[in-house]
Structures are given as C-alpha cells and as structure tokens.
Amino acid sequence: MEMWFSEFHTPDVKHSIRVTRHLYSKKSDYQQIDIFETPEFGRVLTLDGNVMLTERDEFIYDEMITHVPMAVHPGIRDILVIGAGDGGVVRELTRYDRVERIDLVEMDPQVVEACRTYLPSNACRMDDRRVHIHFENALKFIRRRESSYDLIIVDSTDPFGPSEGLFTREFYGNCYNALRPDGIMVNQQGSPFYSEDAEAMKRSHKRIVNTFPISACTRPTFPPTRPAIGSSGLPAKNTTPPTIWTPRHGVP
C-alpha cells in the first residue's frame, strides 16, 4: 500500500507527496511534529500538518533569509533568530566569521531534538560556540532586550495558531526596540498566492509599516542617521545602498 502525505492549502487545494517512511511522529506541548522520507523531496518536516521544509529545496529559503541582510549590512555581529528550530538559518549565519553571537529562540525543544536526529544537514551548526539556544516564548524574550542586535530574523510559521503573536504590532515594536540604530529585521510573512494568506500578509505588512517608518528615497549613505526601511521584504531601522529610505518630517 502506498503512503501519501497531503498538505491542504485551501479547502479546494491540496499538495500530496508520496512517502516511503514515516521517520518521526510526536505531539509536543505545542504542536504535532512529523518527519517523512520521500523519494522526490528527501526528508520533509511538517508541523501540525503543514510543510516547514524539505531537504531538496530548503536552501532556497534559508540562504535568502540570511545572506541578503548579511550582504546589505557589513557590520552585523549580534543576531537574534526567532523560530528556525530546524537549524537551517543558524547554519547559514555561522558561515560568517564576523558574527559573534546568535541567540536562537525556539519555543519547542522537541523540534530541535527531532531535527538534530533526522535532519542533521540542517541542524549541523547548532553546537557552534556562538549559538545560544533559548527554549522560551519569543514575545517574552524580546521584551527584555533593548538595542541588543544588529539583525533579527523571524523565521516563524505562518500567522495562524502558535505563531500568531509574532505578527502583532506589539511584537514588531519590541523588535524595533531590540535593534541597534542600524539594525535590520527580516520577517517571514507567508505566501500571497491564496487570498486568505494574502490578507494575512497585508495585515502583517501594515503593522510593520506603522512600526518601521517609511519615507522618501535619498542619496545612499551608510549608515543612515535616522530609522527607516528599504523594502517590505526587508524591514529595518536603517538599510544600505542601493536603496536608502530616510524619514522626512512632515511628509506622509
């Protein structure tokens, strides 16, 4: 008998992957965690029935969410990663010798444990001396930080269920306060392909815009002298060339 895993995108759409082995299944205090072996995508991590990563294509996401801000800001030393318990973002960040500290805040220790065992290519740098893992609520963790980080990467699940609190105005405000004046925040916001997800993205982006002011584009300087953001995909207190956004008082 063939085994298939199906992820429901909407009530009318599902994506199915043939499974050769069900490697791991556990209900943690927070969510259902499963890891499957598949012939097409390699090992697949799912949380509450939603695909988080596959061995075949995780590099696309993890490289983009880390190397873009690292290329934009050459002064990044201290980094906060929220979520990303699989270790892929940490793996990419530890490639940089200039990075001095990575705080990884993951609420579910079972995710890290499962990925260490079954997804070692992702979790291979979790024991790097610069990585400090905090198993706690990210909302509480970040409230205690002020001007502590050069980069914050929010690699959460989509804005539903356990991660809903990571898409609030309060959370974005706390991220703003936790960043240094030239800091950058990168935030996973899901996909706009389906209408419900697109609406969730709009809500999230509106809250980010209200926290990280946007204004006119001026000549490139580094670092800019006032808080700004350069693009909706890369919210930041300050950004670097080729696009610099700086506030102009009195301009909406």
Active site residues: 155
Cis peptide before 109 (omega within 30 of 0): no
Distance separating alpha carbons of residues 210 and 138, to the nearest angstrom: 21
For the purposes of burial, counting CB atoms within 10 Å of the CB of 174, is it exposed (0-12), middle (13-18) or buried (19 or more)? buried
**Residue written as token pair 């002020």:** 146
Question: In sequence order, which ranges of the chain are alpha helices (DSSP H)?
Answer: 58-72, 88-93, 109-118, 120-123, 138-143, 169-178, 195-211
